[in-house]
Structure 1
Amino acid sequence: MKKKQDKPKIEELFVVGFDLDKKPRGGRFEGIDERAANVAFDLGLTAVIKASSDFAEAAKKLPVGRVYASGKAFIPNIKEALVTELMAILRKPGDCSEAYRLDKRSNMKDGTEGDTSQVRCKSPITSGLPRSWNDIDAGHLVLAHAGYEDGWWEAVVVNREDDILTLRYRDAPKLPTFVRHLNTVALINPGPLCDND
């Protein structure tokens, strides 16, 4: 008898998060589909490619999303607990998943506008964060000091000119951008190097 050959593994795209209306959504798509990823980014969701085994196992609970011939995609509503579980895995030190999010704040109801909201976060949520101050570039996540009473907060680099960074607070999109010198921001520990093979 001939031994059955294993089918080659097809990479999946996982989409998860809270949309612009704060509703939990998520789905999985067979293959890395750019149309589905673009819909996810438009909704403010996180797209995960090259998922770690832990994330992929938990993400089996996600419903299957659909991509239509028109180019539109459907990402179902899911339970908030599942979003929380999957995001916790992505934030776990050493998780090798590649997660991306495009912050489309200009489409939000608060009317915020400007090119600064269109920066794609190049850093996966845990792995891939800048490992040195020289590596910091637009789209990276760093810590910025907000004052002695407020402490340090996550900020996205909007622009870098030499050693001057233009930043915006990740969790306070209504606040204006601000400027800091490169030496005054802190790096977030990216965790150990991990092998995606």
Structure 2
Amino acid sequence: MRTDITLANAAPTLPPGLLTLPSIGLTPPPAIILYGRDEKGRPHSSKFAGDMTDEAEAAARLMGFRFAAADTDALRDLATCLPAGRLFSSGKGFVPFVKTSLYERLLAATGTADKPMPMKAHTKPADGGGAPGAGQGRGGGGAGAGDPPATRAGAKAPASLSEVGLGSFVLAQGDEGDEGYYAAKVLATKTPDSFVLQWAGYSDLPEFVRPRGALGLLPPEAAVGLA
């Protein structure tokens, strides 16, 4: 008995390995690193996703910072140590403080010289209540005098601004003209709605005062390791 082969019962003649299309791995663009010193010489750096290249570079120019693509092994390793940045509606970006040792490694990896930003001309704030008080001491509100503890026992990052108290880690607005918010620790209560703080990890920098309205909440996971 003869069986004719038709298209309906014909077996594929291609090797099995050729029946499956190979997966194509797309390599994401390298992260963009923003870095630089502020007018007080403090080092800042953060990383942005590679698909935000244009926006991150524009933010760097507005802030007077440098930028580099993490396209070498050294820069990719450094990028894993940097906080994630974010962009503001003004076009500037969130570029927090980093350790001097990390910043120096970044300079070496990019082959750039360490140059501080030029000093900015500051004008006297119109409203003293909301003005930053960088360099101010603790004044009459010394530690232990009317300082409420953070509402959640042992919590470094309060769940709301009403819970901010002695020992809390928060985001504090930068100096005048700086739209960024940076991690800081509450050292004392100056008034019911203003606090004496210190930048987290920078105990050698002066204490400063911020009103409650110039603070933001720090994600609990970001407070891990802060002291």
TM-score w.r.t. structure 2 length? Answer: 0.37
